[in-house]
Amino acid sequence: MKKHLYIIISIILVLALALSACGKSAGPQNNTAQSPEPAQTQPKDPEPAVTEPVQPEQPAEPEPAVAGTGEPGKDPGSGEPTQDDLARRQAYIEAVQYFVDMGELPDGNSVYYEDMGDEKDQYAIFDVDSDGREELILYISETIMASCCLQVYEYDIESGEMRCEMGGFPYDVHFLRNGLAKTGMSHGTGGERDDFWPYDFYKYDPEADFFFSDGFVYQWDGNIRPDMYGEPFPEDVDKDGNKVVYTVTVLNKQETGDYIDDDAYKAWYDEYFEGAEDFEIPWDTMDKFIHPNGDPMPEAEPVG
């Protein structure tokens, strides 16, 4: 009897378990589809809006280095002037005024004044040697040839003195960004072509704060002057046969200035000047310094 009872109870338990399992699978289905769980990845930034691509700005070519101790290749006047800058400019303005009134240069030398020539006297305030301090450049050409001059001065704040950094002739003036300068000579030889004029060249020394004369260049066209001071044209040097030779005298190398042909001259020129660009000097006339009553400057004795 007990055995049958155990069998009946076992059958009832099996049926109950079966019904329970079917109920889990046959329950009501949700009409909204369930998305699978995403894979575990690092979160991404939101996609940017689609815009026109912006090209990155190309860096500017570096300026060529210059010989002074200031910022290489930097033109002055880009920042706020210091008190020393303002005092220096005022001293330069007063120096120009004194020259117009008295015909005397900042270093005390007098310039014989005679109103002649097509050019007017000019001046500029500019850091021409790139040492971080502006200089006064005087371009005196409104007088006789012997009194014409190109002068560069720097005002010393501590001593209150004007110091001359360079003296040359005011013709075809070039101040270059690499600390070199060149100026046309006061006189030629009469043997140059129309597109050339003999010139002096200078090199700035940062330690001395001075433009030293470094040499000079002449040209000789044999078609214009078959001989020069009794010397015949050097046909053996004129390899290209165009009847033009040059002499280049570099003082610090003690070169003799022998005649050279066009190719040799061009090679020297390119190496020496290194393709440096000119500074744009802000020249201005001295008209505004002339007194309204038109009083002339006192005459001084001619120089030389």
Q: If phi over 0 gives left and psi between -120 and 50 gives alpha, with beta otherwise, what is residue 43?
A: beta
Give the rounded distance of the alpha carbon of 47 from its chain centre.
Answer: 45
Q: If phi over 0 gives left and psi between -120 and 50 gives alpha, with beta otherwise, what is residue 183?
A: beta
pLDDT tens-digit profile of 22-65?
333 333 333 333 333 333 333 334 343 333 433 434 434 434 44
pLDDT of 79: 72
**Confidence band for 72, pLDDT divided at 50, 70 and 90:** very low
The span from the CA of 284 to the CA of 125, in Å, is 9
**Confidence band for 219, pLDDT divided at 50, 70 and 90:** very high
pLDDT tens-digit profile of 91-105?
999 999 999 999 999
In the predicted structure, residue 300 carries a pLDDT above the cut 50: no
Q: With pLDDT > 70 as the criterion, what percentage of the chain qualifies? A: 68
Q: 290: closest CA among 96, 67, 29, 35? A: 96
Overall pTM surpassing 0.75 (yes/no): no
Q: Quick one: average pLDDT of 182-194?
A: 96
The span from the CA of 295 to the CA of 61, in Å, is 51
Residue 74: other Cβ atoms inside 10 A? 16
Q: Quick one: average pLDDT of 106-122?
A: 82
pLDDT of 86: 95
pLDDT of 113: 74
Give the bridge partners for 83, in sequence order. Answer: none
Give the bridge partners for 163, in sequence order. Answer: 154
CA distances from 96 to 100, 169, 181, 279, 286 (A): 6, 18, 23, 22, 8
Contact between residue 215 and residue 248 where contact means Cβ atoms under 8 Å apart: yes
Q: 171: closest CA among 182, 159, 161, 162? A: 182
